[in-house]
Amino acid sequence: MIDHDFRVVGQAEKGETAVSLAKEFVPDVVLMDLVMPGINGVEAIREVKKVSPRSQVIVLTSYHEDKYIFPALRAGAISYVLKDIEPEQLIKTVKRAVNGETVMDSQIATRVVQEIRDTKQSSSNPFSELSERELEVLKLIANGLTNAEIAEQLFISEKTVKGHVSNILSKLHMLDRTKAAVFAWKQGFMQSEE
């Protein structure tokens, strides 16, 4: 299908070539695949946005996994559509990109919405990933108890306590138990659990 509103100014087989062409022609829209020889599509998107910030990048790919979607959007893609898109829809997507509007395949949009919801839920309660037992252990850590004292109070082995502490630090992205204790107090966890 030909649309006379468009003029193709370049075509690239490799990511590096796409970046060079974007720098040379500063196109309104770049259609970018994610898997190609040389630098990958995500890196190419990032570089295109550096050399031609006004160019809108549309990902046109057959990949719909999270490991492709989110890095591409973070790199600067305005739209993400799959290669089975109808030609008329692709033309509309390009026209919308020129106007700064986002278009996403419904499958991709569903994943993006899920991710936003998951992020919102976990950010509203930073302790949501902790199990009930890990919450108990964190409370005792925040109250200044040692692993041995926690083990005694909860009637579990010290080795089990160490496992819980390790899980807590990992889930909260903390380096040590002191930081976890301070974080628990700062987040109001101790008051809410009293």
Angstrom distance (rounded) from CA 144 to CA 155: 18
Domain range list for the chain: 15-122, 132-186
51-65: pLDDT as tens digits: 999 999 999 999 998
2-29: pLDDT as tens digits: 566 889 999 999 999 999 999 999 999 9
Fold of 132-186: Arc Repressor Mutant, subunit A (1.10.10)
Based on its alpha-carbon atoms, the radius of gyration of the chain, rounded to whole angstroms, reads 25
Angstrom distance (rounded) from CA 106 to CA 165: 41
The pLDDT of residue 125: 73
Provide the sign of the torsion angle of the four alpha carbons 107, 108, 109, 115, taken in this order. Answer: positive
CATH number for the domain whose boundaries are 15-122: 3.40.50.2300
pTM: 0.62
